[in-house]
């Protein structure tokens, strides 16, 4: 019955002795399934390809030797002491992963309200960056610039009276932190704090110190999200009071994200980021429309943990859901994806 009107068209054409033209034909029914018929056809017309070059691998580093401690709320993700971290990075690089992002687990005794340890030239991150660059020099090293791992209060900024997060004094410390990372050999610094003006201040300081080749990946649209819980478990960096809503963005806001992105670009960002990714695909899409800079998306710890937990329960096909989720971020407009799945994806793609 689907093609019955074609028969009518043809009979009418024969009876009329007129040339068959668009004017006397019914509309042609489209058959999109023709291009889905075989795996080769599907690959040929696939619009979005996830590749290993899209991946940035976030890694947690801790003090000590011979230590590899699983993050309970992030199955398959670990805190590594430096010696084992180097091996993990080497494995990732051999799989084709081009970049890693470092996050430190800082001893409680080294934390204070002003993040002094964050710019210690012999601090954990600074020593780690130097060791990576000596061992695997070609991998891109991205360092987190924020105070929360170093803060006795668990906030991304210095806490003033009545619990107010102090913007400008925090930026001064972030500049020192970024400079110490550049001196250690970081390729890219990634301010994740959401303080106003920090991109411009860091760019100016890097250039003045002759680190003009060091890039800035700005956490431009970072939302105050409940998806960060497992990450805070990994670094023991949950805020000791209140929340982060006075500096991280309201999850209901989209236009504000575009404003934040525009400000960071004007201040000298080389790349911009949307964080989290999965619940903010619309933001990734809108940001991509507004800039020619590379757009990164952070497939954050809560997104990772949900897939892992459901996979362990047998409720989903973990690998297929993982790939579908990451592909959705690429399809939305992400050029780069920070994901704890990076090594697993690289193995599958290889």
Q: Which stretch of DSSP H or E encloses residue 221?
A: strand 215-222
Where does residue 110 rank: exposed (0-12), middle (13-18), buried (19+ CB within 10 A)?
Answer: middle
Active site residue 110: no
Three-state DSSP state, 287: helix
3-state secondary structure of 41: helix
Task: Please tell me whether residues 225 and 292 are part of one structural domain.
Answer: yes
Max CA pair span of the chain: 94
* Host domain of residue 126: 51-349
Q: Are residues 24 and 150 in the same domain?
A: no
Q: How far apart are CA 42 and CA 125, in angstroms?
A: 44
Classify residue 305: in a domain, yes or no: yes
Residue 297: which of 334, 333, 345 has the closest Cα?
334
Which of 119, 41, 50, 83 shows the shortest CA–CA distance to 344? 50
Q: Is 137 exposed, middle or buried (0-12, 13-18, 19+ CB in 10 A)?
A: exposed
Q: What is the pLDDT along the chain (350 residues), one digit of tens a residue?
A: 444 444 555 455 555 555 555 555 567 889 999 999 999 999 999 999 999 999 999 999 999 999 999 999 999 999 999 999 999 999 999 999 999 999 999 999 999 999 999 999 999 999 999 999 999 999 999 999 999 999 999 899 999 999 999 999 999 999 999 999 999 999 999 999 999 999 999 999 999 999 999 999 999 999 999 999 888 887 777 888 888 999 999 999 999 999 999 999 999 999 999 999 999 999 999 999 999 999 999 999 999 999 999 999 999 999 999 999 999 999 999 999 999 999 999 999 98
Q: Which of 111, 275, 308, 330 is catalytic?
A: 275
CB atoms within 10 A of CB 210: 9
320 part of the active site: no
Q: Specify the pairing of strand 271-275 against strand 295-299.
A: parallel
Catalytic, out of 111, 222, 308, 330: 222
pLDDT at residue 139, as a whole number: 98
In a domain, 41, yes or no: no
Q: What is the CA radius of gyration of the chain?
A: 25
User: Global pTM?
Assistant: 0.91
Residues 166 and 283 both lie in one domain = yes
C-alpha to C-alpha distance for 32 and 273, rounded to whole angstroms: 35
Q: Compute CA 9 distance to the chain's CA centroid, rounded to the nearest angstrom.
A: 55
Secondary structure tally for the chain: helices H, strands E: 12, 12
Residues 21 and 167 in one domain: no
In a domain, 243, yes or no: yes
Q: Do 18 and 63 share a structural domain?
A: no
Please tell me the total count of domains within the chain: 2
Instruction: Decide the pairing of beta strands 271-275 and 55-62.
Output: unpaired
Q: Do both 283 and 193 map to the same domain?
A: yes
Say how far residue 256 (Cα) sits from the centre of its chain: 19
Q: Which two tokens stand for residue 126?
A: 């600074």
């Amino acid at each position: 019955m689907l093609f019955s009107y074609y028969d009518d068209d043809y009979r009418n054409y024969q009876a009329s002795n007129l040339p068959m033209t668009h004017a006397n034909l019914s509309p042609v029914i489209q058959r999109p399934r023709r291009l889905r018929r075989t795996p080769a056809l599907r690959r040929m017309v696939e619009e979005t390809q996830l590749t290993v070059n899209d991946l940035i691998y976030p890694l947690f580093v801790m003090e000590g030797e011979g230590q590899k401690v699983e993050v309970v709320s992030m199955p398959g993700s670990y805190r590594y002491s430096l010696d084992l971290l180097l091996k993990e990075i080497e494995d990732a690089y051999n799989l084709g992963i081009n970049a890693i992002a470092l996050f430190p687990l800082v001893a409680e005794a080294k934390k204070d309200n002003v993040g002094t340890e964050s710019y210690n030239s012999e601090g954990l991150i600074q020593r780690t960056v130097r060791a990576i660059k000596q061992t695997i020099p070609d991998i891109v090293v991205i360092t987190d610039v924020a105070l929360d791992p170093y803060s006795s209060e668990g906030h991304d900024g210095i806490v003033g009276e009545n619990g107010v997060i102090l913007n400008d004094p925090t930026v001064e410390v972030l500049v020192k932190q970024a400079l110490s990372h550049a001196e250690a050999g970081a390729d890219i610094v990634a301010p994740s704090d959401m303080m106003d003006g920090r991109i411009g201040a860091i760019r100016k300081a890097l250039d003045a110190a002759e680190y003009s080749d060091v890039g800035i990946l700005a956490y431009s649209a970072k939302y105050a999200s409940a998806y960060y819980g497992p990450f805070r478990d990994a670094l023991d960096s949950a805020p000791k009071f209140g929340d982060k809503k006075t500096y991280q963005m309201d999850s209901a806001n989209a236009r504000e994200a575009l404003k934040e992105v525009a400000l960071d670009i004007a201040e000298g960002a080389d790349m911009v980021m949307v964080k989290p990714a999965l619940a903010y695909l619309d933001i990734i899409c809108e940001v991509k429309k507004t800039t020619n800079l590379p757009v990164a998306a952070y497939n954050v710890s809560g997104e990772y943990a949900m897939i892992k937990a459901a996979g362990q329960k047998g409720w989903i096909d973990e690998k297929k859901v993982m790939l579908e989720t990451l592909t959705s971020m690429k399809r939305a407009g992400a050029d780069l994806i920070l994901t704890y799945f990076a090594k697993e994806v690289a193995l599958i793609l290889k």
